[in-house]
Amino acid sequence: MENIRNIAVIAHVDHGKTTMVDELLKQSGTFSEREQISERVMDSNDIEKERGITILSKNTAINYKGTKINIIDTPGHADFGGEVERVLKMIDGVLLLVDAQEGVMPQTKFVVKKALSLGLKPIVVINKIDKPAADPERVINEIFDLFVALDANDEQLDFAIVYAAAKNGYAKLDLNDESDNMEPLFKTILERVPAPSGTNDNPLQLQVFTLGYDNFVGKIGIARIFNGVVKKNQSVMLAKADGTKVNGRISKLIGFMGLEKMDIEEAGSGDIVAIAGFEALDVGDSVVDPNNPMPLDPLHIEEPTLSIVFSVNDGPLAGTEGKHVTSNKIAERLEAEMKTNIAMKYESTGEGKFKVSGRGELQITILAENMRREGFEFCMGRPEVIVKVEDGVKTEPFEHLVIDVPEEFSGAVIEKLGKRKAEMKTMAPTGDGQTRLEFEIPARGLIGFRSQFLTDTKGEGVMNHSFLEFRPFSGAVEKRNNGALISMENGVALGYSLFNLQERGVLFIEPQTKVYTGMIIGEHSRPNDLDVNPIKGKNLTNVRASGSDDAIKLVPPRKLSLERALEWIEEDELVEVTPVNVRVRKRYLDPTQRKRMEKAKS
């Protein structure tokens, strides 16, 4: 069996794990000198590149002095925790990457807890030591305290430490060492990460941990071989998580090297490969020797905590901007997403409505953003938290929320969160006039909080949250304080009428925007909804006006992104998503029908 090491890179969003993987690829000689590497090679999806986050776990392999190192880049967001849990089952070691200035963040905790509970021994890499405010000593103490708090055993507490600045391409074992390459990190990986257990002589056992899809060969399962050898065209048995068994053969076997995928004839125990040949492939399924089947334990994945209803766009402008607008098309697209994205579920609730459940707002909005770019047009309702009833008690998901804000804003943040049923756990200064606040809060309380939070902290606050547990229902949470400005006409908005409307609140649209009855064009400065006419022009008279009368000064509108729109809406409102626009509208466009519905509700 060739020398193999399987490792995952764990880090908080933006602590530099994708950059680190790029450097390792570069310095191991996996890329030839001639090849130009794009920045952050591993984030291949457009949205990943724009937001600088990793959504899907990627895998790549490096050949370093005769040892094949399989590296899996995991998402750092708790919303994509479903990905992380599966990946950890497939590897033998973890690189825990922590920013030398920011220290340990909540999502890092989420993943580290999973890794420690599986008995993995992390290698701690303190990254970005070239930052001016870096404090590696403090960060190492934080990590040690975290490991103790998460019940790490003595072996895990004796972790290896490597200092690095991945962007500048060097790593060292001691801060005083001189180094200009990643050699110390490679050595540490080879020494500290155990080689895979299992041999080529045993019967075949491999387990699928991520799915891909290829138009030519159908479903592809990316899997780790725990025992035995797998060959192309070999007859095998697929053992599913529910116990059913299917015989078949492997039509395609794909290996990884650098960023390349290539067809291979066979692969041995401990390696990570992709297989095709089964339509019914799912995450957690085992592929075993039909003469001696020994399936592996299926993988457990955490439950979704939040759902959003997607529906067909039935507004007056439906079909004018998108290619795919029918419920059949939307259903097909959601079906395809569920094939590869295991932490999400969807069900059709009739009348062109689909309830999509996931681990958080981010995960579902990324799906919506992808669909929008593919030419879909649809509406989305307000995010709802998934409530469970256990032994007659209504329970809801709670989140662990960590906030870093400048001291002067901490009072405002604590007050706002108090209204949202949050309970403060700790409050500590982190130096530089910053304060770190930790809360436990119902997930419902976080919906719509981010935009409010950024306003309160003048954009300087940072918030991160991760799933904690289900707890008894905590009662009503404060809603949006302001009403909506609703268009009562169909047409094109004019500067003159918007100029007269801007004292009524904050506008979301600019002149020459198409509007329709029931579309929300702004936020009212008072708590009630107000029907307004944005298409009224100036009446012409034969009286000559002075120049100052004609000068219209408009305040720039508040542009709503998909996330901000979803956070802003209430239950009786929808976000209309098209490839060109994100609009906000009332669920019932007709004003009389709206009033009737409100009466029926009260």
Residue 19 known to bind ligand: yes
* Single residue among 192, 222, 251 that ends a domain in this structure: 192
pLDDT at 42 over 70: no
- Among 88-92, 209-213, 406-410, 529-533, the minimum mean pLDDT is found in 209-213
pLDDT class of 530 with cuts at 50, 70, 90: very high
pLDDT at 75 over 70: no
Q: Which of 164, 256, 162, 149 is nearest to 210 (CA)?
A: 256
Q: What is the pTM of this model?
A: 0.68
- Residue 13's CB is within 10 A of a number of other CB atoms, namely 17
Residue 431 lies in a domain: yes
Host H or E run for residue 592: helix 591-601
Task: Give the contacts of 136 (CB within 8 A, at least 6 positions apart).
Answer: 100, 126, 129, 163, 175
What percent of the chain is modeled with pLDDT above 70? Answer: 88
Return d(Cα 539, Cα 535) in angstroms, integer.
12
Host H or E run for residue 17: helix 17-27
For residue 205, the model assigns a pLDDT of 84
pLDDT class of 33 with cuts at 50, 70, 90: very low
Q: Are residues 228 and 359 in the same domain?
A: no
Domain with 161 in it: what CATH number? 3.40.50.300
Residue 399 near residue 467 (C-beta atoms within 8 A): yes
Of the CA atoms within 13 Å of residue 6, those in its CB half-sphere come to 20
Residue 223 near residue 286 (C-beta atoms within 8 A): no
pLDDT at 584 over 90: yes
- Reading the block at residue 511, the tokens are 């002149």
Q: If you average pLDDT over residues 365-384, what whole number do you get?
A: 90
- In the three-class reduction of DSSP (H, G, I as helix; E, B as strand; rest coil), residue 223 is classed as strand
Q: Are residues 357 and 403 in the same domain?
A: no
pLDDT class of 210 with cuts at 50, 70, 90: confident
Residue 16 known to bind ligand: yes
Residue 25 lies in a domain: yes
pLDDT at 519 over 90: yes
pLDDT class of 487 with cuts at 50, 70, 90: very high
Where do the DSSP E strands lie in 413-518?
A: 423-431, 434-442, 462-472, 484-487, 491-492, 505-507, 514-515
Domain with 459 in it: what CATH number? 3.30.70.240
Each residue of 361-370: pLDDT tens digit? 777 888 898 8
pLDDT class of 56 with cuts at 50, 70, 90: very low
* Single residue among 368, 385, 402 that ends a domain in this structure: 385
Task: Give the contacts of 215 (CB within 8 A, at least 6 positions apart).
Answer: none
Q: Which of 116, 118, 193 is nearest to 157 (CA)?
A: 116
pLDDT at 310 over 50: yes
Each residue of 298-309: pLDDT tens digit? 766 667 788 899
DSSP state of 174: S
Residue 18 known to bind ligand: yes
For residue 575, the model assigns a pLDDT of 93
Residue 122 near residue 149 (C-beta atoms within 8 A): no
pLDDT at 373 over 70: yes
List, in sequence order, every residue forming a beta bridge with 243; answer none if it has no partner. Answer: none
Q: Are residues 24 and 163 in the same domain?
A: yes
For residue 37, the model assigns a pLDDT of 46
* Single residue among 433, 457, 472 that ends a domain in this structure: 472
pLDDT at 39 over 60: no
Q: If you average pLDDT over residues 308-324, what whole number do you get?
A: 90
pLDDT class of 29 with cuts at 50, 70, 90: low
- Residue 601's CB is within 10 A of a number of other CB atoms, namely 8
For residue 379, the model assigns a pLDDT of 93
pLDDT at 226 over 90: no
Q: If you average pLDDT over residues 11-39, what whole number do you get?
A: 64
Q: If you average pLDDT over residues 494-519, what whole number do you get?
A: 91
Q: If you average pLDDT over residues 448-472, what whole number do you get?
A: 79
Q: If you average pLDDT over residues 339-348, what whole number do you get?
A: 78
pLDDT at 326 over 70: yes
pLDDT at 30 over 70: no
pLDDT class of 38 with cuts at 50, 70, 90: very low
Q: Are residues 148 and 13 in the same domain?
A: yes
Q: Please report, for residues 19, 23, 185, 397, 525, the alpha-carbon distance to residue 37 in angstroms, rounded to integers and kept in the order given.
A: 11, 10, 21, 42, 51
Q: Which of 397, 407, 414 is nearest to 466 (CA)?
A: 397
For residue 516, the model assigns a pLDDT of 93
Q: Are residues 243 and 361 in the same domain?
A: no
pLDDT at 216 over 90: no
For residue 511, the model assigns a pLDDT of 92
Q: Please report, for residues 459, 478, 523, the alpha-carbon distance to residue 418 in angstroms, rounded to integers and kept in the order given.
A: 20, 10, 24
Q: In this predicted model, which residue has the larger pLDDT, 269 or 534?
A: 534
Residue-wise over 399-438: b if at least 16 C-beta within 10 A, else e? bbbbbbbeeebbebbbebbeebbbeeeeeeeeeeebbbbe
Print the domain residue range for 244.
205-288
- Report the mean per-residue pLDDT for the chain: 81
Read out DSSP for 523-555? EESSSS-EEE-TT--PPP-SSPPPHHHH---PP
For residue 251, the model assigns a pLDDT of 85
pLDDT at 541 over 90: no
Residue 465 known to bind ligand: no
Q: Which of 396, 395, 400, 584 is nearest to 480 (CA)?
A: 584
For residue 83, the model assigns a pLDDT of 61
pLDDT class of 507 with cuts at 50, 70, 90: very high
- Among 106-115, 145-154, 227-236, 510-519, the minimum mean pLDDT is found in 106-115
Q: Are residues 402 and 381 in the same domain?
A: no
pLDDT at 255 over 70: yes
Q: In this predicted model, which residue has the larger pLDDT, 302 or 160?
A: 160
Each residue of 126-148: pLDDT tens digit? 888 887 777 888 888 888 888 88
Residue 131 known to bind ligand: no
Q: If you average pLDDT over residues 437-453, what whole number do you get?
A: 84
- In the three-class reduction of DSSP (H, G, I as helix; E, B as strand; rest coil), residue 49 is classed as helix
Q: Which of 275, 247, 280 is nearest to 261 (CA)?
A: 275
Q: Are residues 374 and 431 in the same domain?
A: no
Residue 364 near residue 358 (C-beta atoms within 8 A): yes
Domain with 256 in it: what CATH number? 2.40.30.10
In degrees and rounded to multiples of 5, residue 136 shows phi and psi of: -60, -35
Q: Which of 206, 153, 109, 218 is nearest to 468 (CA)?
A: 109
For residue 517, the model assigns a pLDDT of 93
Residue 14 known to bind ligand: yes
Q: Are residues 131 and 166 in the same domain?
A: yes
Each residue of 162-203: pLDDT tens digit? 888 877 877 888 877 777 888 888 888 888 888 888 788 888
Q: If you average pLDDT over residues 375-400, what whole number do you get?
A: 87
Q: If you average pLDDT over residues 315-341, what whole number do you get?
A: 86
Residue 434 lies in a domain: yes
Q: Please report, for residues 8, 45, 195, 345, the alpha-carbon distance to residue 57 in angstroms, rounded to integers and kept in the order given.
A: 10, 12, 22, 19
How many domains are contained in the chain?
4
Return d(Cα 117, Cα 425) in angstroms, integer.
24
pLDDT at 107 over 90: no
Q: Are residues 252 and 226 in the same domain?
A: yes
pLDDT class of 583 with cuts at 50, 70, 90: very high
Residue 594 lies in a domain: no
Q: If you average pLDDT over residues 216-225, what whole number do you get?
A: 80
Q: Are residues 410 and 282 in the same domain?
A: no
Q: Are residues 55 and 187 in the same domain?
A: yes
pLDDT class of 32 with cuts at 50, 70, 90: very low
Residue 172 near residue 162 (C-beta atoms within 8 A): yes
Residue 158 lies in a domain: yes
pLDDT class of 54 with cuts at 50, 70, 90: very low
pLDDT class of 110 with cuts at 50, 70, 90: low
pLDDT at 101 over 60: yes
Residue 539 known to bind ligand: no
Domain with 378 in it: what CATH number? 3.30.70.870
Residue 19 lies in a domain: yes
Q: Are residues 170 and 36 in the same domain?
A: yes
Residue 129 known to bind ligand: yes
Residue 152 lies in a domain: yes
Residue 512 lies in a domain: no
